[in-house]
Amino acid sequence: MTKKPEKPAAGTRVLKTRIKKKSGLKESSRRWLERHMNDPYVQRSKADGYRSRAAYKLIEIDDRHHLLKPGLRVIDLGAAPGGWCQVAAARTKSTPENPHVVGIDYLGMDPVPGAPVLEMDFLDDEAPAKLIEMLGGEPDLVLSDMAAPTTGHRRTDHLRTMHLCEVAADFAISVLKPGGHFLAKTFQGGTEGELLTRLKQNFRSVHHVKPPASRDESAELYLLAKDFKG
Nearer to ligand SAM, 160 or 227 (CB): 160
Query: In angstroms, what is the minimal distance from the CB of 49 to ligand SAM?
Result: 13
Active site residue 226: no
Q: Segment contacting ligand SAM (CB under 6 A): 22-30, 38-46, 99-107, 132-140?
A: 99-107
Dist CA 134 CA 101 (whole Å):
9
Q: Does 37 bind ligand SAM (CB under 6 A)?
A: no
Dist CA 206 CA 27 (whole Å):
39
Q: Which of 67, 72, 80, 135 is the binder for ligand SAM (CB under 6 A)?
A: 80
Q: Segment contacting ligand SAM (CB under 6 A): 38-46, 51-59, 91-99, 150-158?
A: 51-59
Q: Which of 60, 62, 68, 122 is the binder for ligand SAM (CB under 6 A)?
A: 122
On the question of a cis peptide bond just before residue 81, with omega within 30 degrees of 0, the verdict is yes
Nearer to ligand SAM, 109 or 227 (CB): 109
Query: In angstroms, what is the minimal distance from the CB of 89 to ligand SAM?
Result: 12
Helices within the chain (DSSP H only): 27-37, 40-48, 55-65, 83-92, 127-135, 154-175, 193-202
Q: Does 42 bind ligand SAM (CB under 6 A)?
A: no
Q: Which of 59, 104, 213, 221 is the binder for ligand SAM (CB under 6 A)?
A: 104
Report how many helices (DSSP H) and strands (DSSP E) the chain contains, helices first: 7, 7
Residue 164: CB partners within 8 Å, gap ≥ 6? 77, 78, 122, 123, 144, 146, 147, 148
Dist CA 204 CA 167 (whole Å):
20
Q: Does 102 bind ligand SAM (CB under 6 A)?
A: no
Query: In angstroms, what is the minimal distance from the CB of 105 to ligand SAM?
Result: 4
Catalytic pick from 22, 185, 226, 229? Answer: 185
Q: Which of 2, 34, 90, 106 is the binder for ligand SAM (CB under 6 A)?
A: 106
Q: Restricting to residues 146-175, which ones interact with ligand SAM according to CB under 6 A?
A: 146-148, 164
Dist CA 179 CA 185 (whole Å):
21
Count of other CB atoms within 10 angstroms of residue 8: 9
Buried b (16+ CB within 10 A) or exposed e, 49-86: ebbbbbbbbbbbbbeeeebbeeebbbbbbbbbbbbbbb
Q: Does 83 bind ligand SAM (CB under 6 A)?
A: yes
Contacts to ligand SAM by CB under 6 A: 51-52, 54-55, 78-84, 104-107, 121-123, 145-148, 164
Catalytic residues: 185
